[in-house]
Amino acid sequence: MGRVTTRVRRTRLDVVSGARVERTDTVAVEEPLEIRVDGISLTTTMRTPGDDFDLAIGHLLTEGLLHGADEVATLMHCTDLDESGSPTFNVVDVTLAPGAVLHRAPRERTQGMTSACGVCGSASVDAVRTSSRYAVAGDPLSLSAEVVAGLPDALRRQQPVFDRTGGVHAAGLATASGDLVHVREDVGRHNAVDKVVGAAARVGSLPLAGHVLVVSARASFEIIQKASVVGIPAVVAVGAPTSLAVDLAVDRGITLVAFTRHPSMSVYSRPDRLA
């Protein structure tokens, strides 16, 4: 598996004193990951190496291409090599289970995905609104406001790569009582969500009803879309929401909480789930 962090040289400048200090610094690794299904390339995204199988399955699920991890027979890293002849582990080949097929065509994109991408490059807004198979609006989830307000701090305590680099996002899947059952980090906030979804799907089944998705970044349309597709009824974000995120959360019946910093938060949809 590739490195999660690496060491680089940096020069620290103080514009007041004019001091110049040379030192090494730890930064998060960003490398491409190509996802193939039965040998056919579907997409390439920039990610932090690690939990690549979770990322591959999570991406296929949140894009609506698969309905469950049981539709996957095997996952393997291809033996791709860099210029020095060392393996890069930057290609994951997914083999579908007998009888399984992709349930929709891969999203048409006009460019490759970056670590900032969710649906960037999609050919049309209509292609973005992947229909969810789950009635998220009817999920009877009930949350304590105190528990919700504490979720970002709980997530932050499980971010070792951020502690070392300050350069990665995190996503977590929490129960209604506030227990984080899965946490993943990545340079891409959408990749972090896909990794969490993939981790949960590999040990259980969809939908992820009764759970809360916690993200260290803003609440974008793509984050709400991913939650909707896999049946998550609540999203809690440290940062701000976007207008489309609010619209989609209202439309799908997802509880959207943003600007979450204990002891306060802002609820943009379905506040009835918070006691």
Q: What are the tokens at 93? A: 């080949």
Q: Which residue has the tokens 């049309």?
A: 124
Q: Cα(first)–Cα(last) distance of the chain, in Å?
A: 44
Q: How far apart (Å, rounded) are the C-alpha atoms in residues 90 and 134?
A: 33
The dihedral over CA atoms of 66, 70, 72, 77, expressed in degrees to the nearest 10, equals 110
Cis preceding-peptide flag for 49 (omega within 30 of 0): no
Alpha helices in the chain (DSSP H): 52-62, 125-128, 145-156, 160-165, 189-203, 221-229, 243-252
Is 46:113 a contact under the CB 8 Å cutoff?
Answer: yes
From 69, 117, 174, 197, active-site residue: 117
Contact 217, 196 (CB under 8 A): no
Q: How far apart are CA 62 and CA 229, in angstroms?
A: 6
- State yes or no: is 120 an active-site residue: no
d(CA 107, CA 92) in angstroms, rounded, equals: 19
Catalytic residue numbers? 117
